[in-house]
């Protein structure tokens, strides 16, 4: 689960989106397949925190660009922009309706 932590904490402390440390992203790309050994429930708990944090859309784009999509239960790629936008908007609506609070993802 440590692969998700940089994105979760980035949303908490970073002032600007898309300014991740290059070495961190390289390590995430190299070790992404390790998420296949983590239960979907644990991954979902971490993703909910990322989705409701600041810079959510940027973080999700970066997660997809790192090639983690197959390991987090989605097969969107950073190139499937239209599907990705609908997915992120749907998540925002879901969390707003579920009382999870809504933080703009754009």
Q: What pTM was computed for the model? A: 0.69
Q: Which residues of 39-75 are buried (b: 16+ CB within 10 A; e: fewer)?
A: eeeebeebbbbbbbbbbbbbbbbbbbbbebbebbebe
Domain boundaries, the chain: 5-97
User: Between 3.30.310.220, 3.30.365.10, 2.60.40.10, 1.10.3090.10, what CATH number should domain 5-97 receive?
Assistant: 1.10.3090.10
pLDDT at residue 97, as a whole number: 47
pLDDT at residue 98, as a whole number: 46
Instruction: Give pLDDT < 50 ranges for the chain.
Output: 96-106
pLDDT at residue 25, as a whole number: 93
Q: State the Cα–Cα distance between residues 51 and 89, nearest whole angstrom.
A: 10
């Amino acid at each position: 689960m440590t692969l998700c932590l940089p994105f979760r904490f980035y949303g908490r402390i970073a002032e600007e989106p898309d300014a991740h440390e290059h070495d961190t992203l390289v390590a995430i790309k190299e070790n992404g397949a390790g998420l296949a050994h983590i239960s979907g429930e644990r991954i979902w708990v971490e993703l909910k925190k990322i989705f409701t944090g600041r810079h959510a859309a940027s973080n999700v784009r970066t997660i997809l660009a790192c090639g983690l999509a197959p390991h987090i239960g989605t097969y969107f790629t950073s190139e499937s922009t239209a599907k990705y936008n609908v997915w992120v908007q749907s998540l925002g609506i879901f969390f707003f309706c579920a009382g999870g609070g809504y933080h703009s993802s754009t």
